[in-house]
Structure 1
Amino acid sequence: MSGKIRDALQSTVVPGADTQELGNGLTSYRWLSYRTLWLTTSEGVVVFDPLNRAASADIAAHLKEGGQPLRYVIYSHGHRDHVSGADALGGHPIVLAHRRTAEDIRVRGYSDVVAPTETFDEDEHVLEIGGEEIRLIRLAGAHTDALVASYFPRRRLLYAVDLVWPGQLPPPGAPLSYSGVERALDRLLQLDFDTFVPGHGAIVKRQEVIRYRTFLSDLRKEFVAALQRRGLNDLHSASTFLAAPEQLGSVFFEVIDALKPTYGDWENYDAAILPTVQWCFWSVLTGD
């Protein structure tokens, strides 16, 4: 790419956005705290979550210089903050999603989310384009009923959104099932990948995904142990709830202190650890 073209592309980038080349036609695009990918092949381009119209228009400006037609847009799930704005990409791509994601989008009825034009129903769907194999893996019950991770086996690269926040805790209020995330990560860690691209945060190596999974295990173990030390073994008993909030509050802060030596350097530990412990409490209480 010539310097003039590169300068022109830089001028189209919206504030807070940048790209990162991952090699052999794969590009990561970051818009504020969100991250997605596009793949350029000899048979056309695949864009993953379009994010929003502003981000998609910016991605389209980058794609225009490549000269390849947009063949696919792949949705990870049906939440508007990841999949709105595909109409700003241009072209006439196949919009691909899991069937349950398509149903979710139809029910929500957002005007800025393009409905999928093609769906799949299996737990693992393989897309092949331009000599590239992409495995779309459904992770039921983790974030939505049909959250899909994208795995590139030949590249040993995994793209998964709203499961792992590398080096930080999940934002308070994120719709996540604690045990669902644990199960999803256990499944993904069976895959042979070296590079992990999250939907939020920096691109990292496999070890950071393992560390995040270990954090969830450590949190659960510390929480259960703190309950047992206070004789609060049955969260469904009246005595346990009558002991709240003093006893349960003490459990929460005991767990926070126990985890801090190992995880206190995470970016938002102090701000997000209390709702994260409450998230674990809800999982223990409900059996989820």
Structure 2
Amino acid sequence: MTRKLSAGPTALSLIPLIAGAAWVGCGGGEPPSDEGTVSDAPPQFETTEVAEGVYQFRWIGHNALFVVTSEGVVAFDPISVEAAATYAEEIRRVAPEAELAAIVYSHRDADHATGAEVLREAFGADVPIYAHENADGPLREAADPDLPPPTSTFAETMTLAGGEIELHYLGRSHSDDMAVAFLPAHGLAFAVDFVSRDRFGYQDLASFHFPDMFGAIEGLLEIPFETIVFGHGPSGDRAAIERQLTYYRDLDAGVRDAVEAGLSEDETAATVVMADYSHWDRYDDWRELNVRGMHRKLSAAGVGEDGEGEHGEGGEEREGEHGAGREGRGEHEGEGREGGGEHGGEGGHGEGEEGEESGEYLGRAETWDATRRGARLVLSYDPAREAFAGTVENTTGETLCAVRVEVHLSTGTELGPTERTDLAPGGSTAVEMAAGGEAFERWTAHPEMSACAAR
């Protein structure tokens, strides 16, 4: 159930339309024209009921959440001093008889946690503040009166209001103190900054912890929510989180390929275009920054050094489904164009064959003949047809599942991927990709595959 609430008579969200009246609306857009029309700009704040007794409070581009529980209102993320003043008014308007039982920080970042004292002054100075234990020390050291330290902390999990609210710590993600809220009765979660609905990660991912990030998102998917409210942007569902996880896996894989191929940060930023995510929010603003940030993280971790391709900030090899280990990208591999979870092979030439992800592109007239994880790709460019043609063959004794092929041109254009196909032992399939008259000088290619589903 979603129902938007209009503000009461004294709330700032009422936009006066009386001719000649002062412009005191909260949208921050243009004032009404002489014809009395109002700008399409959204109001500065908005309170929306996202489940019974559960409300999203949006202040410009930030979202908070408050819950009317049996013990009073629990408010997440005051956002700012200015926002918190309106936040308090909205809580009073929605639940005029309720007291504020608790304030919860999703994490200690100032753009989400500032303003707790304003809420406490509105409802009582003894209102407790909860946060993950890693938030406590830095906030005490900062000694910011507008962002007080928590009065109580937790390490792994905590329940509030007799279990109506659960707080979970899923490990390092956007920060090392991220608390995720879950409301079991509503099947609703609240998660901030490390996930969102179809939106790129913040700028160059400087504060994001990889590969821990993969584990945190997978941990979120283990919580049985159906609806999720984010710290920014519209709410979503489980599929939104699955897409977010796939995006970061694809980003890791695409950039890892480039690093292992010896491409510089600038070259990687120009070639890893994440085309399947071009419709996502902030693509134009943050796509390149995301790629650059991931390049720095992987380079710092030693990826690409002597073909070793370590995975993660500490250079550790990761296994399983966390999108970092080569064998572990599993079923989510390759859902995005740059993604291709199996990009980059095992490092170097893989199985000692010439040309596979060696860091050297082939000339237009050269033939690609290399094997990756048992898939032998033989491919060449036919200038008369302006297309690449060849075969991919299973050289192993087991079925290779969901095999597909991509070609990367030196111009930055990607061709493919081809449709996925299962290859039986010894089986092969034809590969053909039109180049569309692209004026390239060099090219590289690779097959990809996913883990086989249980039969």
Give the alignment partner of residue 253 of structure 1, picking from 252, 262, 270: 270
Q: Output the CA distance in 2 between the equivalents of 1:106 and 1:227.
A: 40
TM-score, structure 1 normalization: 0.84
Q: Does residue 196 of structure 2 align to residue 182 of structure 1?
A: no
Asked if the contact 1:75–1:96 (Cα under 8 Å) also holds between the matched residues in 2, the reply is yes
The one-letter amino acid paired with 2:136 is A
CA deviation after TM superposition for structure 1 residue 264, in Å: 0.7
Q: Does residue 158 of structure 2 align to residue 156 of structure 1?
A: no
Asked if the contact 1:48–1:76 (Cα under 8 Å) also holds between the matched residues in 2, the reply is yes
Q: Flag the structure with more relative contact order, 1 or 2, with Cα contacts below 8 A and sequence separation at least 6.
A: 1
Q: Output the CA distance in 2 between the equivalents of 1:157 and 1:270.
A: 31
Q: Does residue 295 of structure 2 align to residue 281 of structure 1?
A: yes
Give the corresponding residue for 1:109. 143
Aligned pairs for 1:51-90 within 5 A: 51-65=79-93, 66=95, 67-89=97-119, 90=122
The one-letter amino acid paired with 1:35 is N
Q: Output the CA distance in 2 between the equivalents of 1:101 and 1:8.
A: 36
Q: Which runs of 4+ in 1 moved over 6 A?
A: none
5+ residue gaps, structure 2: 15-23, 28-43, 302-311, 314-455
Q: Output the CA distance in 2 between the equivalents of 1:34 and 1:4.
A: 19
Give the corresponding residue for 1:200. 232
CA deviation after TM superposition for structure 1 residue 173, in Å: 4.5
Q: Would you tell me which structure has more helix in proportion to its own residues? A: 1
Give the alignment partner of residue 266 of structure 1, picking from 265, 280, 287: 280
Q: Output the CA distance in 2 between the equivalents of 1:5 and 1:223.
A: 47
Over alpha carbons, which structure has the higher Rg?
2
Asked if the contact 1:96–1:119 (Cα under 8 Å) also holds between the matched residues in 2, the reply is yes
Asked if the contact 1:171–1:272 (Cα under 8 Å) also holds between the matched residues in 2, the reply is yes
Asked if the contact 1:97–1:118 (Cα under 8 Å) also holds between the matched residues in 2, the reply is yes
Aligned pairs for 1:26-37 within 5 A: 26-37=54-65
Give the corresponding residue for 1:239. none
Q: Output the CA distance in 1 between the equivalents of 2:191 and 2:227.
A: 11
Q: Does residue 161 of structure 2 align to residue 128 of structure 1?
A: yes
CA deviation after TM superposition for structure 1 residue 23, in Å: 2.2
Q: Does residue 65 of structure 2 align to residue 41 of structure 1?
A: no
CA deviation after TM superposition for structure 1 residue 190, in Å: 1.3
The one-letter amino acid paired with 1:133 is E
CA deviation after TM superposition for structure 1 residue 114, in Å: 2.3
What is the CA RMSD across the aligned residues, in angstroms? 2.2
5+ residue gaps, structure 1: 233-243
Asked if the contact 1:123–1:137 (Cα under 8 Å) also holds between the matched residues in 2, the reply is yes
CA deviation after TM superposition for structure 1 residue 59, in Å: 1.5
Q: Deviations over 1:68-123 (max 9, x none)?
A: 01110011111111111112122231111122211121112222112322222x21
Please say which of residues 156-165 and 276-285 is displaced more in the overlay. 276-285
Give the corresponding residue for 1:240. none
The one-letter amino acid paired with 2:174 is H
Q: Does residue 152 of structure 2 align to residue 118 of structure 1?
A: yes
Give the alignment partner of residue 21 of structure 1, picking from 43, 46, 49: 49
Asked if the contact 1:169–1:272 (Cα under 8 Å) also holds between the matched residues in 2, the reply is yes
Q: Output the CA distance in 2 between the equivalents of 1:14 and 1:73.
A: 25
Local SS of the residue matching 2:270: helix
Q: Output the CA distance in 1 between the equivalents of 2:160 and 2:60.
A: 29
Aligned pairs for 1:232-247 within 5 A: 232=262, 245=264
Q: Output the CA distance in 2 between the equivalents of 1:99 and 1:223.
A: 34
